[in-house]
Structure 1
Amino acid sequence: MVKSKLPSNTQQPSSNSITMIILFFLFLFISHLSTAFSAHCSTVTATKTFQKCITLPTQQASIAWTFHPHNATLDLCFFGTFISPSGWVGWGINPTSPEMTGTRALVAFPDPNSGQLVLLPYILDPSVKLQKTPLLSRPLDIHLISSSATLYGGKMATIHNGATVQIYATVKLVPNKTKIHHVWNRGLYVQGYSPTIHPTTSNDLSSITTFDVLSGSAATQHNNMDMLKLVHGILNAISWGILLPTGAVTARYLRHIQALGPTWFYVHSGIQLSAFFFGTVGFAIGIRLGEMSPGVTYGLHRKLGFAAFSLGALQTLALLFRPKTTHKFRKYWKSYHHFVGYSCVVLGVVNVFQGFEVIGEGRSYAKLGYCLCLSTLVGVCIALEVNSWVIFCRKSKEEKMRREGLISGSDKGSGIHSGTHSGVLG
C-alpha cells in the first residue's frame, strides 16, 4: 500500500486560498464602488449653470436642472453617450407612468444628409414598442418651450462610439406637479430620420426613473439600488460561483487522505454551509431588486437562481437525514447527495456568468477576475485528479505484484522500488 503523508497543517493552503479569493472579490467590489460613485453629475455646461443634478442609474447618464416654482418652468440638460457613430441618444418625459410607451422624447443623431447633429421630437406610442411602423418625428403635445443638442467638445467634436451629447430642454410643467417620469436610451443606428430599436440588455430596459424636480429626492433611492446590485453580484459570485465548487473539491479529494481523518468532512461542511448562507443573502437581495424594478424581468437568470437556491436548500436539509455509514440506505443517500450537489454547482456557476450578462458586465474586469479564479480552481482539480489516478494505478500495480509474489505483503510504499532493483541485481 502507498500511504499519503501530509503535514499537520494540510488544511492551511485551502483556507488561505479561500481567503485570497474572498479578498480578491472584495477588492473588485471596492474598485467597482469607487467607479460607480466617481461617475458624478455636473451642474455646469458650456452655456448654462444649473442648480441641481442627479446621476441616472444606467448608461452613465445624468441630468442637471433648475426648477422655477413661480411659473412651473423646468430648465434641464441631459448628458448621454453614443454607442455608435451612426447611432442615436434620446431623453424624454412620460406624463402618465414610468415606462417607455407614452414617452414624449427628444432624440439626437447625425443627419443622414449632412452628418451634423440634429434633435427631433418623437412620441413613443404602443406601435413603436411592437415595431409595427417606423418611428416618425412629430410635434410633442407637452408645453416644450425650447430644445437643442450639442456634442461635448464644441464645434470640432464628432459623433463616435463614446461621444457625449448634451440635450437641453425647457418645459412648462403642470402646476403643483413636480414629480416627473424621465425615460432615456440609445441605439446603434438610424434609418433615414427614424431611430431603430435600442438594445435589450437590463440597462436598456431599466432606463427609467422618477424624481421630484423640486427636491431631487429620488437620488438616494437609485444609489441604494446600485449598491444592492453590487452586493447581490459579489455575494452570489463568491457563494455560488467560488465557495460551492471549492466545497465540492474538498469532499472529492481530501476524503481519501488518511492523515486528515474526519477533518475533511468538517472542512467540506463548513465551506458549503457558508456558501449557502451567503448565497441565501444574495438570493434575498435579488428578490428585493425584482420588487424594486417593476416591469423589468430577467427570465433565465431568475429561473436559474431559483433552481440553484432550491437545490442548495435540499442539500442543506439532507444533512439532517444523513444515514450512518452502516445503514442500508446509505448508498442511495450518497447517490442523491452527489447528483444534487453537482447539479447545484453547475447551475450556480452558469448563473454567475448569466448575471454578468444581465448587468451589462459581459466584458468587464470583474468577469475576467472571476474567470481567473474559476480557471485556477479547475486547474487545481485537474492536478488533483491526475494525482489520484497516478496513486490508483500505483496501488493496482502493487496489488498485482503482491498477488504474483513479486513483493511481500509487509512491503509498503517502497515495495515496487525494492522489487525492481532486486530483479536487476539478481
Structure 2
Amino acid sequence: MHGIAHTASLLAWTFYPHNGTLDLVFSGSFISPSGWVGWGINPTSAEMTGTRALIAFPDPNSGQLVLLPYILDPSVKLQRSPLLSLPLDNHLLSSSVVMYGGRMATIHNGASVQIYATLKLSPNKTKIHHVWNRGLYVQGYSPTIHPTAISDLSSIATVDVLSGYTSKQHDTIRTLKGVHGVINAISWGILLPIGTLISRYLRHARSLGPSWFYAHAIIQLIGFFLGTVGFGIGIRLGELSPGKVYALHRKLGFIAFSMGSLQTLALLFRPKTTHKYRKYWKSYHHFVGYGCMVLGVVNVFQGFEVMGESRSYAKLAYCLCLSSLIGICIALEVNSWVVFCRKAEEDKLRREGIPIGGFEKISGNNS
C-alpha cells in the first residue's frame, strides 16, 4: 500500500498489477458546513480542466453526505455555467464516501471525509494525474468555485501508483516562481527606478560631465535584461500551469515589457542635441520611461498577491528598499528646488546689475 500527504489531505492506494485495478482513498476536510470536498483524476494532463471528479457535500434536501461525479470542462473554470453532475467513463468501477466519526458525525468546518474509489487503469499505465480541492458553498447540486490562494491553485500531482513516485513538477514550478519574483522585483522594481532617478537628478551636475548618462544607460540596460529574463520565466510558468490565469498580473507584465522594449529601441534612434526633433524624442522618452517604471512597481506588488506573499518578509524587504528610494527621491527633489530658487535669485540680481559678491560685501560692511 502506498500513500502521499498534501496540505490538509491524504491519498492512499493499493495497486493490483495483474488486472490493472486501483483501490484508493482520499482524505480531506471541509472548510464550511455548506461546502464541498472533491478529488478526481485527469486522464490526459496535470491540470484541472478535463478532470473526472468525485465531489462530496451535504444534500440540500436531506442534509446527508452525498458523493456525485462531475466532469470539469473549460466552461467550469470560466464560470460560464453551473457545474452539473455527469456520469464518468467505465474506468470508475465503484465509489463511496464516509464521514470521519461514522454515521452520527455532522458536517462542520474542519470535519474530515474519506472518498473511496476503485479504478480500472489502462493497460501498461501506472501514472495518474490526481486533482483535489474544497470549496465554501454548493448551490443546489452544483459546487461553486474553490478559493484561489496559491495552495488551492497548486492542488495537482502526478503519481506512479506502482512505485509510489510523485512527480517533482510542482517543486520546479515553485522554484521558478521564486526566481521569477526575485528577478522581477530587482529589475522592474529597483534597478529601473534607480536608473530613472540618476537621469532626473544627476544630469544637471556639471562636475559629473557625461558620467550620469553612462550610469543611467548601463543600469537601465541591466535592469531591462534581467526583466526580460523574468518575463520569459513568467511565460514559461504560464505554459506549465495551463489551468491558472492571473489576468491582471499577466496584462501588466506584457504592457511593462512592451514599454521597456520601446525604451531600449529608442536609444538606436536618439537624435543629436541640435536636431529639431530632439525635444519630441525627449518628451516621448520621459513619458514612456516613467510609465514603464510605475507599471513595473505596481506589477511587483501584484506579483506578491499572486504568490500569496502579501504579508511576507520578502514583501517587507522590498517595501523598505522602495521606501528608501522614495526618501532619496524626495531629498533630491527638495535639493533641486533649492538650487533652482537660488539660481533664479542670482539671475534676477544679475539682470538688475547688482554683483552677487559685491552685494554680500556691502551688506556685511553696513552691518
2:69 aligns with one of 116, 122, 127: 122
Q: Which runs of 5+ in 1 are unaligned?
A: 1-49
Cα distance in structure 2, aligned partners of 1:168 and 1:370: 44
1:378 aligns with one of 321, 326, 331: 326
Q: What is the RMSD computed on CA atoms of the aligned residues?
A: 3.8
TM-score (normalizing by structure 1): 0.70
Shift of 1:360: 3.6
Range with greater deviation from structure 2 (93-102 or 351-360): 93-102
- Quickly say closer, same or farther: Cα 1:193–1:261, change in 2 above 3 A: same
The reply to whether residue 144 of structure 1 matches residue 91 of structure 2 is no
Q: Give the 5 Å matches for 1:224-243.
A: 224-243=172-191
SS in structure 2 of the partner of residue 219 of structure 1: coil
- Quickly say closer, same or farther: Cα 1:68–1:318, change in 2 above 3 A: same
| AA at the equivalent of 1:173 | K
Deviations 1:390-424 (A, max 9, x none): 22112222322343355x2457xxx76x666556x
Aligned-pair identity in percent equals 63
Please name the residue that 1:196 is paired with: 144
Deviations 1:289-336 (A, max 9, x none): 222223543333323222222222222233333334344443333222
The reply to whether residue 173 of structure 1 matches residue 128 of structure 2 is no
Q: Give the 5 Å matches for 1:79-94.
A: 83-84=31-32, 86-94=34-42
- Quickly say closer, same or farther: Cα 1:143–1:344, change in 2 above 3 A: same
Contact 2:29 2:112 in 1 (8 A): yes
| AA at the equivalent of 1:250 | I
Deviations 1:170-221 (A, max 9, x none): 4233253322232222222345665322245676556444443224555222
| AA at the equivalent of 2:183 | L
Shift of 1:239: 0.6
- Quickly say closer, same or farther: Cα 1:82–1:223, change in 2 above 3 A: same
- Quickly say closer, same or farther: Cα 1:373–1:150, change in 2 above 3 A: farther
Cα distance in structure 2, aligned partners of 1:376 and 1:216: 50
Please name the residue that 2:4 is paired with: 53
Please name the residue that 1:304 is paired with: 252
| AA at the equivalent of 1:144 | S
Cα distance in structure 2, aligned partners of 1:270 and 1:61: 50
Cα distance in structure 1, aligned partners of 2:80 and 2:53: 17
The reply to whether residue 187 of structure 1 matches residue 135 of structure 2 is yes
The reply to whether residue 257 of structure 1 matches residue 205 of structure 2 is yes
Cα distance in structure 2, aligned partners of 1:251 and 1:216: 58
Contact 2:67 2:97 in 1 (8 A): no
1:358 aligns with one of 303, 306, 322: 306
SS in structure 1 of the partner of residue 125 of structure 2: coil
Shift of 1:165: 4.5
Shift of 1:131: 6.1
| AA at the equivalent of 1:121 | L
- Quickly say closer, same or farther: Cα 1:289–1:195, change in 2 above 3 A: same
The reply to whether residue 293 of structure 1 matches residue 258 of structure 2 is no
Contact 1:119 1:149 in 2 (8 A): no
- Quickly say closer, same or farther: Cα 1:101–1:241, change in 2 above 3 A: closer
Q: Which runs of 5+ in 2 are unaligned?
A: none
Kindly tell me the number of residue pairs found equivalent between the two proteins.
Answer: 361
Please name the residue that 1:391 is paired with: 339
SS in structure 1 of the partner of residue 257 of structure 2: helix
Contact 1:62 1:79 in 2 (8 A): yes
SS in structure 2 of the partner of residue 182 of structure 1: strand
TM-score (normalizing by structure 2): 0.79
SS in structure 1 of the partner of residue 282 of structure 2: helix
Shift of 1:74: 3.4
- Quickly say closer, same or farther: Cα 1:82–1:316, change in 2 above 3 A: farther
Cα distance in structure 1, aligned partners of 2:187 and 2:226: 6
Range with greater deviation from structure 2 (258-267 or 128-137): 128-137
Range with greater deviation from structure 2 (287-296 or 275-284): 287-296
Please name the residue that 1:321 is paired with: 269
- Quickly say closer, same or farther: Cα 1:420–1:277, change in 2 above 3 A: farther
Contact 2:12 2:25 in 1 (8 A): yes
Contact 1:240 1:275 in 2 (8 A): yes
